[in-house]
Amino acid sequence: MWQKSNIVSYRHFRTARRGLLVGGIQLGFCGLLAWRMHHLQVEKAESFRLVADENRINLRLIPNQRGEIYDRNGVKLAGNEASYSITMVAEDAGDIDLILERLSKLINLSPEDIERSKAELKQSAKFLPVTIVDRLARDDIEKIAFNAPMLPGINPEIAFSRTYPLGEIFAHVVGYVGPVSTRDLELRKDPDPLLRIPRFQIGKVGIERELEITLRGKAGTKKVEVNALGRVMREIERKEGSKGANLKLTLDTNLQAYVRARLGNESASVVVMDCNSGEILAICSSPAYDPNKFVRGISFNDYGTLRDDNHRPLASKTVQDAYPPGSTFKMVTILAALEAGIINHRDKIRCNGHVEVSNRKFHCWKRDGHGNVDLVKSLRESCDVYYYELAQQVGIEKIAEVARILGLGQSFDIEMSAVTSGIVPDKLWKLSARSREWVVGDTVNSSIGQGYVLASPLQLAVMIARIATGNQILPRLIKSVNGVEANKETSKLKLKKNNLNLIRKALFEVTNDKRGTAYDSRVLTKKSQIIGKSGTSQVRNISAVERTLGVLENKDLPWEQRDHALFVNYAPYDDPKIAVSVVVEHGGSGSTVAAPIARDITLQAIYKGTPPITAYPVEDRAKIYNQQRELKKLMPRTTKSSKVQA
């Protein structure tokens, strides 16, 4: 009996111990759970509250205004104008096709706009607004507002759009903006989030592109509360962005407009520089285009017309194109000879109309030759044989060295697209670029700016400015950024002063001596007396048969085979202020086509407006008077109200 009682007591003890163990485990688990709840709800409460806020609060960008561009006198060249646009929210619209059809009956909505809008609405979230059309007139907005009950999901908005008040006059310099493309994003390693805003616009060419970051500024931000679907419920906080920097260019609107009008329908380019500061006062390519058409997206037909025009209105010829400089390069060859001590101004070379080098004849432009020629006569009458003979003594290496000192063969740091470096050839260049050895004939060709030598109109303007001043002038296009001007420094050229003086005296006779090739384009007033050199560069080879029968005149050739006409000059002679280069593609003779254009532009720059008729030779005054009247009609009116200090 006792034994049985002990067994029962033992079993009861074991059960109680198990109960205590299980209870202890349960109590420990409850304690751990309570601690965890306390940790999450008390100790980590602030952290989880912030996470919850981040889930319901989104940070969004606010596009800012783009910086504006002005000329040196405060005339606006690129600005921002408020414009109305129409957006659609798909989930509010319901039947998208029906709403777009109704909208097209109220405003001018092209089939392309409708198809694009449908595509963007399908790709975007249904609660996000998609731009249907922009740059609407106020009348269109009023029509939409009046019919609002019939247009669910349609919202009129105010935005800023780029505008170019002077149209084509500054097209190649200022450039234009356009919507961000996929390629634009691919070209940037870490693109600004602004660029991902639908239809956001960035600079495509010209200053708009080269100074994109400066002009773009910084976006603003806003905090918005969204629901579980991501739909905006309310705006919580807003911080406005900073507008892009305003730029003031060195250009003068009146001079630029005059240059554009003076070039007319020619395929040509002009650069006008301040000889002392390097500031570019005008830089113009002709023909041009209206940059405003590109802001909204140019039509296929309009772009095709520009692209297929053989005068290339889309090309910025002043900096992108390089031409054989022709006889304007002769100053380089003769300076190289003077610097090397090979010749002095009294030495003469006989010109019989041609010279034979390596069993090949190199002809002078004057078939019968110039006779005995010295330094002054060689430039005044542009004798080719003088330079053929001289170059063989100097050698291409010395010629190339002087060419680079004068600014040729280098790409200047100027805020325009695709600035060319041109070509200043030498032995190493030909071996590298053509995989052939340099020959004497190459030197002879180069001596008169033909063969491999190529220079842009900008480089030619720098060349004549450096010859005029003896300083290492560098071209400048930006005068100030937000009112702050950059420091400008110049140094002396590594050329002897006496040698430069000899060149200047010879150039004086080109335009002021009756035997000079550009005498017909002389100026009578000392204040604006121009000193320059013409150039006529061939774009085709003249066969021996043609030389025997008589070389065809430019007017008898197809336009594409005619010579380029060039002229470079500075003024006035005693106190250089203005440097000008003119290139007329397939224009013919430099002295008869390019020189008169350069003279008119130089006078316009010197007098800061229409020059007195007495500055022209008597025989030209009637023609010039009528020309001035016609050009004034083409000039834009820039009033004080259109000027804003940059």
The residues carrying an active-site annotation are 327
The three-state (H, E, C) secondary structure of 354-391, written as one string: EEEECCEEEECCCCCCCEEECHHHHHHCCCHHHHHHHH
Strand 564-571 relative to strand 268-274, pairing = unpaired
Closest by CA position to 581, among listed 409, 257, 325 = 325
| 99 φψ region: left (φ > 0), alpha (ψ -120 to 50), beta (else) | alpha
Beta-carbon contacts of 232 under 8 Å, excluding residues fewer than 6 positions away, are 58, 127, 224, 225, 226
Q: How far apart are CA 446 and CA 451, in angstroms?
A: 6
- Location of structure tokens 């050895």: 437
Q: How far apart are CA 612 and CA 28, in angstroms?
A: 107
Q: How many CA atoms lie within 13 A of 616 on its CB side?
A: 22
Q: How far apart are CA 369 and CA 348, in angstroms?
A: 14
Q: Which two tokens stand for residue 183?
A: 């390629």
Say if CB 318 and CB 285 are below 8 A apart: yes
Q: How far apart are CA 259 and CA 253, in angstroms?
A: 10
Strand 531-537 relative to strand 564-571, pairing = antiparallel
Say if CB 461 and CB 270 are below 8 A apart: no
Neighbours of 472 (CB within 10 A): 18
Asked whether the bond before 287 is cis by omega within 30 degrees of 0, the reply is: yes
* Long-range CB contacts for residues 621-625, cutoff 8 Å, separation at least 24: 624/600
The three-state (H, E, C) secondary structure of 129-143, written as one string: EEEEEEEECHHHHHH
Neighbours of 168 (CB within 10 A): 18
Q: How far apart are CA 257 and CA 481, in angstroms?
A: 23
Closest by CA position to 102, among listed 133, 132, 135, 147 = 147
Type of residue at 92: D
Neighbours of 24 (CB within 10 A): 10
Say if CB 175 and CB 215 are below 8 A apart: no
Estimate the crossing angle of helix 621-634 against helix 253-263, to 10 degrees.
110
Q: Which helix (H) or strand (E) holds 225?
A: strand 220-226
Tell me how far the alpha carbon of residue 474 is from its chain's centroid.
17
Grouping H, G, I as helix, E, B as strand and the rest as coil, residue 436 is coil
